[in-house]
Amino acid sequence: MTRTLRSVGVDLGDRSYDILIGPGARHGLAALLPVGARRAVIVTQAGIDVKVEPGIDHEVVEIGRGERSKSMETVGELGRAMARFGLSRSDVVIAVGGGLVTDVAGFAAASWHRGTPVVHVATTLLAQVDAAIGGKTGVNLPEGKNLMGAFWQPHAVICDTETLSTLPPEEWRSGFGEMAKYAFIGVDGLPGMPLEEQVAACAALKARVVSADEREGGLRMILNYGHTLAHALEAAGFAAEPGDVLDQVGAGPAAGPAAGHPLPRPQPVPLPLRHGEAVAVGLVFAARLARALGRIDDGRVREHDEVVSAYELPARLPRGAEPAQLIEFMLRDKKAHGELTFVLDGPRGVEPVAGVPSGLVTEVLAELKGP
Ligand code: GLY
């Protein structure tokens, strides 16, 4: 283990756990497994070339790639593999991958023998700063995304920043978009920090939020900053789903965060947007909507633009995205309850705001239409 590892705690009483962050953190896996676990099922995907050594008898099971694999069928296949391997409730499931893998393996672990420990080894930036932390697990149904799931807190989370070196550029952009939201919900100076510090700062904030509001009764909603528009873009087909992770092969980051660009610089990215890129557009939009509602001033809107620009993320609606269609999808969202609700910045910080007039939303969306 190297000396640069950091540990962040999620404080949930007897379900508390640590997040181990830094280069080579995966080598600390064996020490983080539950005491008494004798066997492990490692759940991963083809193309994720991250080997882990649990130090106990184990079997590797690969699940499919893409949102279609985030299904009850995959959970059933995992259950059958666990049965064949003889995994008991005192053993452990180890998820090695991005958000799709941690969601599916986490749900399978929550269901296996009514709850078996799971350790997440998050290998994408998005999973390291968001998906692997906090216990949200689940799968899609033909009727909708993430409709079946459970809160099942992991036994430990590993964010090995070395595993990011093989991420394709679009996965970096997706992670940066999810990261950018943290700059407005409590992490100052984010884009200027070294990457490991950024991951640690975001993971630490998420850990604090989850410790305070595990089941999203209130505070946890701030983690959805920028997501209302992002989900509408995803539902309308302009953005990929968060779990649609591509092959973890290829070059490292095309461009790291470059602090200090004065103005938003929309990037010509190919459609569909990655999840985090859609979140970036959602952040720029949420800032303008908050200003239109008199909640923040021009300076704060500029800060949003600067962070999104520093991460070289898109700041405009994709070509063809129409305000009326996006509003329709926002109203259909399972959390909408028939009115337009956004998580917005304001004098008390970021918070949910219900009953936003659709005319205003249309105007602000129209401002963000690309050339
Ligand atoms: N990704 C938002 C949450 O975990 O609550």
pLDDT per residue as tens digits for the range 120-139: 999 999 999 999 999 999 99
**Catalytic residue among 65, 231, 274, 304, which?**
231
pLDDT tens digits, one per residue of 281-338: 999 999 999 999 999 999 999 999 999 999 999 999 999 999 999 999 999 876 777 8
> Does 225-367 carry CATH code 1.20.1090.10?
yes
Query: Is 155 among the catalytic positions?
Result: no
Cα(129) to ligand 1 centroid in Å equals 10
**Catalytic residue among 26, 120, 181, 206, which?**
206
Phi, psi angle pair for 115, to nearest 5°: 130, 105
Query: Is 227 among the catalytic positions?
Result: yes
CB 130 near ligand 1, within 6 Å? yes
Query: In this predicted structure, what is the pLDDT of residue 259?
Result: 33
**Catalytic residue among 224, 274, 277, 288, which?**
224
Cα(289) to ligand 1 centroid in Å equals 22
CB 227 near ligand 1, within 6 Å? no
Cα(298) to ligand 1 centroid in Å equals 28
CB 223 near ligand 1, within 6 Å? yes
- Indicate the pairing of strand 144-151 with strand 136-141: antiparallel
Query: Is 261 among the catalytic positions?
Result: no
CA distances from 39 to 92, 116, 141, 255 (A): 7, 12, 31, 41
| 6-212 and 225-367, same CATH topology | no
Query: Is 275 among the catalytic positions?
Result: yes
Query: In this predicted structure, what is the pLDDT of residue 338?
Result: 82
**Catalytic residue among 65, 70, 181, 275, which?**
275
Query: Is 84 among the catalytic positions?
Result: no
Atom number, ligand 1, closest to the C-alpha of residue 133 = 4
Residue whose Cα lies nearest atom 3 of ligand 1: it is 223
Query: In this predicted structure, what is the pLDDT of residue 266?
Result: 44
Write down the domain spans for the chain.
6-212, 225-367
Query: In this predicted structure, what is the pLDDT of residue 11?
Result: 98
CA distances from 363 to 143, 230, 320, 336 (A): 31, 17, 16, 20
Query: Is 216 among the catalytic positions?
Result: yes
Query: Is 73 among the catalytic positions?
Result: no
Atom number, ligand 1, closest to the C-alpha of residue 221 = 5
Phi, psi angle pair for 60, to nearest 5°: -100, 130
pLDDT means per 10 residues, the chain with 371 residues, are: 82 98 98 98 96 98 94 98 98 98 98 98 98 97 91 98 94 96 96 95 98 96 96 89 43 35 42 90 98 98 97 95 95 81 97 96 94 71
CB 27 near ligand 1, within 6 Å? no
- The whole-angstrom separation of Cα 282 and Cα 69 is 27
CA 202 to chain centre: 11
Residue found by looking up tokens 């309850």 in the block? 337
Class of domain 6-212: alpha beta
**Catalytic residue among 26, 70, 227, 304, which?**
227
Residue whose Cα lies nearest atom 2 of ligand 1: it is 223
Query: In this predicted structure, what is the pLDDT of residue 144?
Result: 85
Query: In this predicted structure, what is the pLDDT of residue 241?
Result: 62
